[in-house]
Amino acid sequence: MHGPPGRARCSSARRLEGDPAAPAEPGQTQLSYPGVTLCPMSDTATVTTPPGSDAPARRRPALSPSRASDFKQCPLLYRFRAVDRLPEVPTRAQLRGTLVHAVLERLFALPAAERVAPRAKELLAPTWTELSSDSPEWTELFADGEPGETDKWLASAEKLLDSYFELEDPRRLEPEACELHVEIELGSGVLLRGYIDRVDVAPTGEIRVVDYKTGAAPREIGEAKALFQMKFYALVLWRLRGVVPRQLKLMYLTDGQSLAYTPDEAELVRFERTLEAIWQAILKAGKTGDFRPNKGRLCSWCDHQAHCPEFGGTPPEYPGWPEPDPGEETVLDRAD
């Protein structure tokens, strides 16, 4: 799919945790904002280095929507993921979400006329082959299953794609960007970093942020978390472009429903203060190691109960505050 100069386009390149932001290719248009450079054609953003510096661009510590949400939900969960970096075993549902996200990204890279359900389903198997080749440990989740388990799992992903096509017709859409990687430094110095599933821009300039939800968490639990994430993206786009997104759209592919929300500037200002307060609380906890557990309904989905005092566990010895978390989200973070 081709777009006019200066606009991002959907890319089938999958972004992994820690991917460096590449500089623009010769002749590539860049959009510059204070503190960041957004490279539309590669859908990435990086922090610029001082003029005349020979040092390579580096990834600065940042706050992502997933890690901000973790700290808000349970400070100890943030510690386990961002400081201790304890391993987590992905579930089949998470992998299915990652797969469906990747297929939808590839779907929008096709000419509009080809964006139909049968074509999307054709993309499932080769996309899974590519993803599992990059992360071969994912295939271990199917190693002990019955014959045909993988085929059944792929069929369940087809149902999510069916739900997607019931919600909208991608042939009528030309997104400005898919899997858009953005960064912005707030006036307080907090660097925000995240991936946006899709950005639509109307001919009149209105911006719509779209996020696909494929997780199994109940709506009454996940909806507040999802809106937190969407407000994060709305704030980043507003600070980057000077335009408050007209609509934040959540597409729930498990039950075939969607939720639209319209933010306003005053709300995003308040949310910006919330993120700044979260970051300051993270830094304060980091100095002392005082990341406290906060037991709740989402504990049922936590991999770290064996280390959590609320479940009779003992956290690992605190390693001390390292370099602050780089704020990168894995593909599994973005799958739910």
What domains are defined for the chain?
32-50+57-87+176-336 (3.90.320), 92-172 (no CATH)
**Given a cut of 90, is residue 77 above it in pLDDT?**
yes
Rounded distance between C-alpha atoms, residue 53 and residue 154, angstroms? 49
- d(CA 13, CA 167) in angstroms, rounded, equals 25
Q: pLDDT for 145-184, tens place per residue?
A: 777 899 999 999 999 999 999 999 999 999 999 999 999 9
Q: Which is nearest to 135 in space by CA: 335, 276, 277, 330?
A: 330
Q: What is the CA radius of gyration of the chain?
A: 20
Residue where the block lists tokens 């890319």: 11
pLDDT digits (tens, 9 = 90+) for 240-277: 999 999 999 999 999 898 999 999 999 999 999 999 99
Spatial separation of the C-alpha atoms in residues 219 and 36, rounded to whole Å: 35
CA distance 230 to 224: 10
Report the length, in residues, of the chain. Answer: 336
Q: How far is CA 55 from CA 65, 170, 280, in A?
A: 29, 43, 29
Q: In angstroms, rounded to a whole number, what is the distance separating the alpha carbons of residues 301 and 26?
A: 46
Question: Does the pLDDT of residue 331 top 60, yes or no?
Answer: no
